[in-house]
Structure formats: structure tokens, C-alpha cells
Structure 1
Amino acid sequence: MANEPEKAEVELPSVRAFVAWFGAARLMGELRGGDVSTYVKTKTDGSPEQVEPLRAFLAYCSRLAFTPENLVPALGVGPSAGGARGGHGANAELGGAAFYVTLDGLRHIEDQLAMEKAKRPAIAQKLHDAMADKDFRENAPLDAARDEQGQLEARIRDLESRLRNAVIIDEQAKGGRANVGSTVKLVNLDTNREQTFTLVSATEVDPSKGKISIQSPVGVAVMNCGEGEEVTVNAPSGPVKFRIVMVQG
């Protein structure tokens, strides 16, 4: 797997080509969704190799407010892609590097990262104390400290990766369709029973508060669908049909 510098070296030509097409002298604030869509349709073959670098670039510009809105949906990939139905957008998101999240979810990840990094000094001290024993052949405390350090650094890398690839869902871009942060009410077409939940990223799931993942069977089924549409949820017991009666947010 390529490391970050190697990945950047591979992706940079795609970003440069897009900037050259748009106009290097123009301001990013002038960029609109129509420009992005036109470029993807006329200058790329729509493959992940060509589109993914643009997604990462546009997500970065959105997070830093270089663009007036989140332009990632204009690429036609991910859960905000126009025309997606019945979870196809969610499946695209699962197959790409983009990490779609609400603003609260992003702040939660930032808090988690800060807490994990704060653990580094304590583990470093454990390593120092364990290494004071010169016999490294049978040093259980040293092995335990190294394992703990490895697990901590893995969690930190995961959280940092999520922040790098985070795309905050634009509420106005949803167009009344279910997406991350939406509250959705469904009615079971067999039992007439209603249920309400909020779609969130995997890191924000909280069943006690009715927050379910966009990667869950229900989440995948309703992504990008609007009120009145019927969806099929692939439940463990078999397919279950629902009608969406409300989408908020």
C-alpha cells in the first residue's frame, strides 16, 4: 500500500489538470458545481483513479471554506450524488475514501483524537521504565508497553485518516433526501408499524438515541431517498418493505 507522500505524488497530476482547466488565475470562490460536473463528464472517464483525487481536493477546499459550498456531490460520487436511489450512493461511499460526517460527528472525532494523543506521554514512560531492565529476552512489561503503544498509534492513525477524508454534509445540498444527519420516519408496509431514526456515520452510532449508521441495512436502503418512496431493507430475516413518510434535515 502506498504511503501518504507516494499517494500525493500519484494524485497531484489529476488536481493540477483540473486547476489548469478551471483557470489557475481564477479564485476558488468562483468554482461552482456545474464546473465540477462539466469537468468530470468531459475531461475524465469517471474512474476512481481520476475522480478520487478531485474528491479529496474539493473536500479539503470545503473544510477550509475556500469554496462557498461543498462541491463533492457535483462529482456524482458518494451519498450526495444526484439521482442515487435505494442506497446506491451509500454503497459508493463505502467503496471510496470519503468519510461523510455531520459537523457534530467531526467535532467528536477531533475530541477523540486529542484524548488518544494525550495518552502518549504515559505510554512513553511505561516504555522507559520497562527498558530500565536490561534483560530484554523475557521482559513482559516491555512487551506489554510496546503492544499498548502499537494499538494507540493505530487508533490515532485511523482518526487522523478520518479527519483528512472528512466531508461535512451540506444541509442545503440534500434536497429533501435522506443523508447523514437526516431524521427519517418509516412505516413497515406489512405491519403498518412506524419507526424513526437519525442517520449518522459509523463513529456516531448510538441506538439509545435512535442514531443508526448509514452502513446499516436500513441506512443503505434509505440513503438519497425522499418522502413517499418505498425501499427494501435486507434484514437478517429477509427483505422487508418500508415507505418513507418523513425526512427532516
Structure 2
Amino acid sequence: MAIVTEVISITVREAVGRYTGELTIEDKQIQQQELNRFVRDLERVATADLTAQIVEKFQEDFERTGADSRRLEPIKLFLAYAHKKSLTDINYGKFIRIRRTGSRARGGVGRGNERVELRSHEMLTADGFQRLQEELDTLITVKRPEIAHDLQEARIDKDFRENAPFDAAKQHQAEVEARIRQLQAILARAEIIDGNTRTGGRVSLGSRIVLHDIEEKEDLEYRLVSPNEANPKDGRISVASPVGRAVLDRSAGEIVEVEAPGGIARYRIDKVAL
């Protein structure tokens, strides 16, 4: 007779809280940022209501930003934990597809024998480094004091059991502090690329390119940046994104193909500039 384990249904936010509560301080600091993203997207979903479609859509939305899928490793570890604790009917972590590239880094964090990669260097463009530094400065000098004020105001209500403003401020504080630690880690190991060391004509990190969409007959302008700098709305796409991988190390005049949800998209590289 098969043994059926009853699923304990709690919110994704509560489940992530339980998971991070069992992590070491070091592991929690490194994993918190991506776990916060997962919570923000699925905070109204109960663990018992998770499905493969929900998890796969989360990854699709994540990868549309140009971010490296390896950053989803904390989500994969959390989902394995949720199943182990009977919070889900199956291990939905198996639906997170981590695309491995190159050799594994020496260091890492994880649970047991599972490890999350840490890169020794973070290649950034000069303006990308400045943007991240400005974001860090704003979080430390503006957001951190604002949250401290909000917590002080919320503490005026002595009944913490149903103090929604206090809980919201504490959650916001955790997210901001996790982002501060992440930015500090990125900037500490950053290497700023030097345009003078790149050969002209071939697409590389930092290149500004003009692509011609052969099917749609329109031109698209992008700058290739690291995953941490990517912002497609501003025309900055990651070298790890589908388009980034397709054009990397190519030259003007070449035609590349990119796998898209609607099929194969074909682009001609019209211009490459440093």
C-alpha cells in the first residue's frame, strides 16, 4: 500500500522564512536576494497550490531579464526543502533548469553536498559599476534610515501580534539589507572592462550593437553587459541572455539565429562599437 503524506499548506513567504531560518548566516546572505524575488512574485500562492507551470513560468520571466539561470540555484534548493518538509506534494525544484557553463568555481554555498557557485571576479562595464555603486549608496544613506524610521513608528503600537506596518517594515528591511550585501559583494570582486583591450569589430562585453530584425524589418540597439547590469528596458542586455550568447564574438554583417517563444528569430549584426 502506498503511503500518502499529507501536505502542510502555508504561504510561500512563510515557507521561505522557515527555510532561511535553518541556513547558516553565510548561506542566508548569499541566497536571500533571489529568494526575496521568488517571494515577491508568489507571495499569495500557498505551497500546496504550487504547480510545475507556476515554477516554469517564474523561470521564464526571470530569464527574460537576461539574468544567468545559475542564480536560480537558491530557488531549486528551497523547493527541494519544501518537499522534504511536506509543504509540497512533489519536489518542484526539478522544474528549475540550471544551465551550467564552464568549470565550477572553487567556492560555494548550499545545503549538504549541494553548492551554489561563487565567481571570483565580476566583470562590469564602467557605467555599470557606477550604477551599482549609486544604488548601494542610496540604499545605505536613504533607504536604510527611512526603514529605521518606519520601524520606530510601528513600534509605537505595542501589540506586535497584529502589527502589519511593523511586519511590512521588517520584511522591507530584510530585503534592503540583502540587496546591500549582494551589491557590496559584487563591487568588491568587480573588474571593470577596459575598452582599449578589446579588438574592434567583434562583439564582446561592453559592446554597443545594432541588430536588424530580418522578419520584422526593424533595427534594435543594445549594449552587452554583465547579468548584474542587465536592464532590457534601457537597452542593456546580458551576455548570458539568448541574444547575448548568439552575438558574442560575432562581427558586423553576420546573421545570427535566436530561439524565441514564437520560434527562431533571425538578426543581422549591422554595427559593432566599443
TM-score (norm: length of structure 1):
0.55
Closer/same/farther in 2, CA of residues 230 and 137 from structure 1, 3 Å limit: same
In the other structure, the counterpart of 2:206 is 181
Counterparts of 1:141 and 1:211 in 2: how far apart (Å)?
Answer: 36
1:14-44 deviations in Å (ceiling 9; x for gaps): xxxxxxxxxxxxxxxxxxxxxxxxxxxxxxx
Which one is further off, 143-152 or 122-131?
Answer: 122-131
Counterparts of 2:154 and 2:231 in 1: how far apart (Å)?
Answer: 38
In the other structure, the counterpart of 1:75 is none
Percent sequence identity over matched residues? 39
Counterparts of 2:126 and 2:146 in 1: how far apart (Å)?
Answer: 31
Q: Say whether 1:148 aligns with 2:204.
A: no
Q: CA deviation at 1:199?
A: 2.0
Q: CA deviation at 1:148?
A: 1.9
Q: CA deviation at 1:190?
A: 5.6
Structure 2's unaligned 5+ residue stretches are 1-22, 31-101, 109-116
Closer/same/farther in 2, CA of residues 144 and 238 from structure 1, 3 Å limit: same
Q: Say whether 1:109 aligns with 2:139.
A: no
1:54-102 deviations in Å (ceiling 9; x for gaps): xxxxxxxxxxxxxxxxxxxxxxxxxxxxxxxxxxxxxxxxx76343321
Q: CA deviation at 1:191?
A: 6.6
1:147-172 deviations in Å (ceiling 9; x for gaps): 12112112212222321232222213
Q: CA deviation at 1:188?
A: 4.3
Amino acid at match of 1:241: R
TM-score (norm: length of structure 2):
0.50
Counterparts of 1:213 and 1:102 in 2: how far apart (Å)?
Answer: 12
Counterparts of 1:147 and 1:192 in 2: how far apart (Å)?
Answer: 46
Q: CA deviation at 1:242?
A: 3.0
Is the 8 Å Cα contact of residues 105 and 118 (structure 2) preserved in structure 1?
no
Equivalent position to 1:131, from 151, 155, 162:
155
SS at match of 2:251: coil
1:201-227 deviations in Å (ceiling 9; x for gaps): 4435253x5433334321221122223
Q: CA deviation at 1:104?
A: 0.8
Closer/same/farther in 2, CA of residues 241 and 133 from structure 1, 3 Å limit: closer
Which one is further off, 137-146 or 125-134?
Answer: 125-134
Q: CA deviation at 1:133?
A: 3.7
Which one is further off, 147-156 or 108-117?
Answer: 147-156
Counterparts of 2:215 and 2:152 in 1: how far apart (Å)?
Answer: 63
Is the 8 Å Cα contact of residues 209 and 222 (structure 2) preserved in structure 1?
yes
